Amino acid sequence: MSTLYSHSRYTLRSKFFRLFGGAYTLYDDTGQALGFAQMKRFRLKEDIRLFADAGHHEPLLSIRTHSVFDFSGAYDVADAEGRRIGTLKRSGLKSTFMRDHWQMLTPEGEVYAELVEDSQAKAMLRRLAGMTEILSWLNVLLPQRYDLDRHGRRLVHYQQRFNPFIYKLDVAVATPQPPDLDNRLVLAMAVLLAAIEGRQ
């Protein structure tokens, strides 16, 4: 398995300018680039790939939604050989009108952990800001934070940095790391938070 998944601290950063689609780079805590994510352009269904190289020749993961009209988006995460390693499922109604809420599912479809946005009040302000241009500056002042929890224990903390121009998301995995926590799903979640939640 790639050494990309052996770290406990990451930063996901968007490219400064990209006309269509989304492109992100994963760094370790020393600033070394570890992986490169790209959202496929002009696709009706979300299709995101993670590569080991900047030239996108060494695929690591694919993240694909089930359906074009799936309001509660379910995203299958597969390795380079196409084997599904889990599913990340977004709770559509909760995430649209309340706090962002995701479930991390095992390959068998069982809930392994749940991810929730930091604050109900801040979440409502962020959604209000997304509805009107006048209040759009609020999103800059209220960077998003999320916790991935299992049975009341925080496994991963995701923290968006304050930056009006470039999307940056810090990922902190709990130490000691639970042996059954798959960092491939941890990083796939980071990419989805940037690509999906980062647009609101």
- Assign 200 a pLDDT band (cuts: 50, 70, 90): very low
- Cβ–Cβ < 8 Å for 73, 46: yes
> What one-character-per-residue DSSP string does 28-41 give?
ETTS-EEEEEEEPT
Q: Which 8-state DSSP code applies to residue 135?
A: G
Residue 1 has what pLDDT?
Answer: 62
H-run or E-run covering 121? helix 120-131
Mean pLDDT of 62-85: 84
- For residue 5, the 8-state DSSP code is G
Give the CATH fold of the 8-199 domain.
Porin (2.40.160)
Enclosing H/E stretch for 93: helix 92-97
pLDDT over 60 at 136, yes or no: no
pLDDT in tens, 4-60: 899 999 999 998 654 445 799 999 999 999 999 998 764 556 789 999 999 999 999
Asked whether the predicted pLDDT for residue 172 surpasses 80, the reply is yes
Tokens of 192: 């989805």
Instruction: Name the average pLDDT for the chain.
Output: 82
Residue (of 166, 152, 142, 83) closest to 116 by Cα position: 152
